[in-house]
Chains A and B, each alone.
Chain A
Amino acid sequence: MKTKIKPPFLCLALALTLVALVSAAWGAGSEGCLNCHNDITKVGKDHLIDPVKYNHTNHSKLADSNFGCRTCHDTVTDKHPKDGISVSATTRCQDCHGDVLEEYSKSMHAKNANCGDCHNPHEVCTPTEISGHDMNKMCAKCHEPAKMVEKHAEWLPQAEQHIEALPCVTCHSESKNYVITMYIIKREDNSRYGDFKLATHDELKKFVGDKDIRTLIDTNSDNYISLAELKLFNGNPAHKSIRLLGMMTPEVATHNFQVLANRWDCTFCHASGPEARQTSYISLPEKDGSFQRAEVEKGAVLDALNGTPDFYMLGSTRNPILDKIGLLIIVGGLILPVGHGSMRFLTRKNRNGKGH
């Protein structure tokens, strides 16, 4: 889980100011470093940094407003790499994210992984800028998905469905709010029966040509997806190889990973009813691999036909109109017993001695 970086603490700012005095002569900015570190032939896989992804991070913004890469890697000299000095970050994650580490240390996860095992500081996004799939990729580094499906299937009905439609952190960390986030998935190689994978920005670009990929769903580009726009997207024959995949995602992800007792009870998600499942977003990939979401019209995930044809949470995203039709049908079944029964009672004398 990635967390939003907070403004540096005052003491850190003072320390950095001191470093700045020393390092000012070397010049700030990341450009010089990235000239080599974006080239795998020069630095190898382990030290490679994707400039597009890095420039999106809050870390790069922090670096740009301070001392470039030296904001964290302050041991680097102008003779690097010939001087042989290690440039591992001397600024530690907890220097800024102390509260996160404190929370994380209490979880049973802490002894198994440190920050860097899950998060790449050169690629981090905020919780809403990362797709549920990418969140789960972090977990999958250790927790092999097939094994997790098997393990969950011991107690969880439709385990595969659940693991496909949930970031692990939805159940294994706490958040006050959960929303439905929809992503576009696409059949591999546009084939008719290929597996669906999360669509990348470039893949979606092919559908819109010169236009912004948002226009794929957000036809009028107002950063708000109406039910009518969803209907257009779902019904467009040109969109045969792409579909919406819904996930229930946390708005804020905490780091106290655990097996939360109330998640064993299905009603944590499945009993909150249609009112609680009104808020949803469409999250689309950016060029840099992060995601930007747009709000969807309230109640779209409850629509029976046009909203999200493939997203259904048993019990909690049921359609209220269908509920009413169902009730009418059942009441209709009572018409004959009640109507015929009443007439039968009133005319009982006619059948005296003749049975019935």
Chain B
Amino acid sequence: MSEKKMIYLQPTPVRIWHWLNALGIVTLCITGAQIRFPEYVNLFGTYKAAIRLHNTAGIVVSLSFSLWFFYYTLFAGTMAQLYIPKKEDLQSGIIRQAIFYFFNYFRGKPNPHHATPDNKFNPMQKSAYLAIMFVLVPLVSLTGIALMNIAPLRDLLIMMGGLKILVGTHFLLACSLCAFLFTHIYLATLGHTPFAYFVPMITGWEEVEEHGHEHKPVHDLGKHAEHVSS
């Protein structure tokens, strides 16, 4: 039996946080492209305007990231539980999830992951988030902040191998984040309708099909809220 059910998935602070990040990261990608390739990209009038906007967006995203990090580690205390893959996730979960995404999904089989408020992300999501939120975003933020403060950090930069290493690292990490953005947006279309996951990120409420006792939908990248049945 399947029934339609509304759940309150994304509370207002999470939605604000998500869209602030989205605006910030897209701005960073476009201004970053102009800063690196000024001969080809000029969307913000002057080069200086692109730099100022890039710096501002960078600070906003870094602050927003810090807010997320400290909230989940210090106040909610659920960071490890939500984001660190468990032993069984690594041993079999990732493979099971990958088989679903790349094989069973096409055959119309259900998602093996049953999300609960304590275990929101499937094993692949956990691993992807671990890489993105714990490695990619902090590193791209830190290298960016360092690039804004070259003079006071001179000695540190020399120890790290110089300005070129810093710039190159920042650029390649940013390209990786940009690449993730495409994947993120695509995976968000894997709901029961293509826009099923976009709506809750705007209104907070998601319509889910309940098959008997379960389920959360296939994909929930970016969802940090607890389920509240309507």
Contacts and interface: CB of A to CB of B under 8 A. Distances in A.
Interface residues of B, number: 52
Given A267-B47, A309-B165, A312-B167, A333 B35 contact: no
A309 B163 contact: yes
Interface of A: 155, 157-158, 160-161, 164, 193, 243, 265-267, 270-273, 303-305, 307-312, 314-316, 318-319, 322-323, 325-327, 329-334, 336-337, 340-341, 343-344, 346-347, 350-352, 354-356
Given A193-B155, A304-B164, A343-B106, A271 B47 contact: yes
B221 interface: no
Interface of B: 35-39, 46-48, 51-52, 55, 101-102, 105-108, 110, 150-151, 155, 157-158, 161-165, 167-168, 171-172, 174-176, 178-183, 185-187, 190-193, 196, 209, 217-218
14 contacts: A157-B51, A157-B55, A161-B150, A193-B155, A243-B158, A305-B164, A315-B38, A319-B168, A326-B175, A327-B175, A330-B175, A333-B181, A337-B182, A340-B102
B47 A270 contact: yes
A330 B179 contact: yes
A356 B172 contact: no
Contact of A273 (B39, B105, B190, B217): B39
A183 to B, nearest CB: 16
Contacts of B175: 325-327, 329-330
Nearest to B150: A161
Contacts of B39: 271-273
B47 A341 contact: no
B38 A311 contact: no
Chain B contact residues, majority secondary structure: helix
A303 B101 CA distance: 41
Contacts of B37: 315, 318, 323
Given A315-B38, A336-B183, A355-B192, A310 B162 contact: yes
A310 B167 CA distance: 10
A158 to B, nearest CB: 7
Contacts of B181: 333
B27 to A, nearest CB: 17
B165 A305 contact: yes
A353 to B, nearest CB: 9
A316 B190 CA distance: 41
Contact of B193 (A309, A341, A352, A355): A355
Given A158-B150, A243-B158, A312 B164 contact: yes
